[in-house]
Amino acid sequence: MHFVVGLGNPGAKYADTRHNVGFWVIDRLADEAGVTVFEKKFKARLARARVGGEDCILMKPETFMNLSGESVGPALGFHKTSVDHLIVIHDDLDLDVGRLKLKKGGGHGGHNGLRSLAQHLPSSGYARVRIGIGRPPPRWDTSSYVLGRFGSEEASSVDGAVDEAADAVKTILAEGIGRAMNRFNRDPEKDAG
Q: How far apart are CA 82 and CA 84, in angstroms?
A: 5
> Quick check: is 2 catalytic?
no
Residue 54 class from Cβ within 10 Å (0-12 exposed, 13-18 middle, 19+ buried)?
Answer: middle
Inter-residue contact 17 to 148 (CB < 8 Å): yes
Cβ burial of 78 (10 Å; 0-12, 13-18, 19+) is exposed
Q: How many residues does the chain have?
A: 193
Q: Which of 2, 19, 85, 111 is catalytic?
A: 19
Element (H, E) at 124: none
Instruction: Please state the φ and ψ torsions of residue 162, each to the nearest 5 degrees.
Output: -65, -45
C-alpha 39/C-alpha 22 separation (Å) is: 18
Q: Catalytic residue positions?
A: 19
